Structure 1
Amino acid sequence: MRAAVFNEPGPASTVFQIVDRDLPLTGAGEVRVRIVLSAVNPTDTGTRAGRGVPDGVAPPRVPNQDGVGVVDAIGEGVTDLEPGDRVWVWDAGFGRADGTAQEYVVLPRRQVVWMPDDVDLTVGAGLGIPALTAHRCLTVAADGPQRLGPGALDGRTVLVAGGAGAVGNAAIQLAKWSGATVLATVSSKEKADLALSAGADAVINYRDEDVAARIRELSETGPHLVVEVDTANLDLDLDVIAPGGHIAIYVAGRFSVPSFKAMMKNATLNFVLTYTTTRQEKANAVAAVAEAVNAGAFRVGEEAGLPIIRFPLDRIAEAHEAVENHAVGKVVVEVTAA
Structure 2
Amino acid sequence: MRASWYAKNGAARDVLVIGELPTPTPGEGEVRVRLAVSGVNPSDVKSRSARPLGEGVERIVPHSDGAGVIDAVGDGVSPGRIGERVWIWNGQWQRPMGTAAQFIALPQAQAVRLPASTDFDAAACLGIPAMTAFHAIRLLGDIGGRTVLVIGASSAVGHYAAQLAALRGAQVIGTVGSEAKARHALAAGVATTINYKTESVAERVRQLTAGRGVDAIIDMDFSTTVQLLAANGLAPHGTLVCYGSNAYGDIAVPFRPLLWNSLSLRFFLVYELTPPDRRAALDGLSELLAAGRLSHTIGARFALDEMAAAHEAVEAGRLIGNVVVTLG
Q: Distance in 1 between matches of 2:146 and 2:286?
A: 23
- The answer (yes or no) to whether the contact 1:74–1:81 under 8 Å persists in 2 is no
- The answer (yes or no) to whether the contact 2:229–2:257 under 8 Å persists in 1 is no
Q: Distance in 2 between matches of 1:182 and 1:81?
A: 43
Greater Cα offset, 308-317 or 207-216: 207-216
Paired residues for 1:197-276 under 5 Å: 197-219=187-209, 222-230=213-221, 231-238=223-230, 239-252=232-245, 253-254=248-249, 255-276=251-272
Considering only aligned residues, what root-mean-square deviation do their CA atoms show, in Å? Answer: 2.1
Greater Cα offset, 288-297 or 152-161: 152-161
- The answer (yes or no) to whether the contact 1:173–1:198 under 8 Å persists in 2 is yes
SS in 2 for 1:179: coil
Query: Which residue of the partner structure matches residue 147 of structure 1?
Result: none
- The answer (yes or no) to whether the contact 1:184–1:204 under 8 Å persists in 2 is yes
Paired residues for 1:59-74 under 5 Å: 59-74=58-73
Change (3 A) 1:51 1:87: same
Query: Which residue of the partner structure matches residue 287 of structure 2?
Result: 291
Amino acid at match of 1:195: A
Greater Cα offset, 5-14 or 230-239: 230-239
Change (3 A) 1:77 1:156: farther
Query: Which residue of the partner structure matches residue 135 of structure 1?
Result: 134
Change (3 A) 1:162 1:248: same
Q: Distance in 1 between matches of 2:162 and 2:56?
A: 34
| Count of residue pairs brought into register by the alignment | 321
Paired residues for 1:80-119 under 5 Å: 82-119=81-118
Q: Distance in 2 between matches of 1:318 and 1:3?
A: 15
SS in 1 for 2:224: helix
- The answer (yes or no) to whether the contact 1:38–1:334 under 8 Å persists in 2 is yes
Q: Distance in 2 between matches of 1:87 and 1:213?
A: 45
Cα offset, 1:92, TM superposition: 0.5
Q: Distance in 1 between matches of 2:236 and 2:167?
A: 24
SS in 2 for 1:107: strand
* Matched-pair identity in %: 39
- The answer (yes or no) to whether the contact 1:157–1:182 under 8 Å persists in 2 is yes
Cα offset, 1:81, TM superposition: 5.4
- The answer (yes or no) to whether the contact 1:65–1:90 under 8 Å persists in 2 is yes
Q: Distance in 2 between matches of 1:62 and 1:282?
A: 24
Q: Distance in 1 between matches of 2:197 and 2:326?
A: 35
Query: Which residue of the partner structure matches residue 186 of structure 2?
Result: 196
SS in 2 for 1:10: coil
Cα offset, 1:217, TM superposition: 4.5
Q: Distance in 2 between matches of 1:274 and 1:57?
A: 26
TM-score (norm: length of structure 2)? 0.90
Whether 1:44 aligns to 2:41 is no
Cα offset, 1:246, TM superposition: 1.0
Query: Which residue of the partner structure matches residue 11 of structure 1?
Result: 11
Structure 2 stretches of 5 or more lacking a match?
none
Amino acid at match of 1:310: R
Greater Cα offset, 259-268 or 215-224: 215-224
